[in-house]
Amino acid sequence: LEALVHAARASLREEGRPDPFDGDPTGFRRWVRGRLERARVVERDGRVAFVGYADVRRPEGWLVQGVYTWPEARRTGLAAAGMSAIVEEGFEAGAGHVQLAVVDGNAPAMSLYAKLGFRPFDTLRTILFA
């Protein structure tokens, strides 16, 4: 759990969003714990180095979000392996498609996703309330 809490917190901070530990760290941990069953991880040297969440898993399609790669594991192929495994799992489960959410401007992630066959189809805006 703590590795995934760290990843979720780091991801939000890298995106320029407020640090969830400045608000309700217990509630934030509870939120991450509620997503554990949907988490897909790749380990490196016995430690979690990549996580992605298959948050929506329906026959018509899967939605992957909350993708994070630890900085020391970036550009090592782990994110490609992790995303490929999630996509494969989705199609093996009968999903008609797999889509993902990525933060606009995250060029390294967008480049990786394009190499994996993803293409942009819509732009969304998320509004956070405190």
Do 124 and 101 meet the contact criterion of CB atoms below 8 Å apart? yes
pLDDT digits (tens, 9 = 90+) for 16-54: 888 889 989 999 999 999 999 999 999 999 999 999 999
> For the packed helices 107-115 and 78-92, what is the interaxial angle rounded to 10 degrees?
50
pLDDT (0 to 100) of residue 122: 81
Residue 58, strand partner residues: 61
Query: What's the distance, CA 17 to chain centroid?
Result: 16
Q: What's the whole-model pTM score?
A: 0.85
The CATH number that domain 40-115 falls under is: 3.40.630.30
pLDDT digits (tens, 9 = 90+) for 58-85: 999 999 999 999 999 999 999 999 999 9
Distance between CA atoms of 64 and 53, rounded to whole angstroms? 5
Do 51 and 44 meet the contact criterion of CB atoms below 8 Å apart? no
- What is the residue extent of each domain of the chain? 40-115
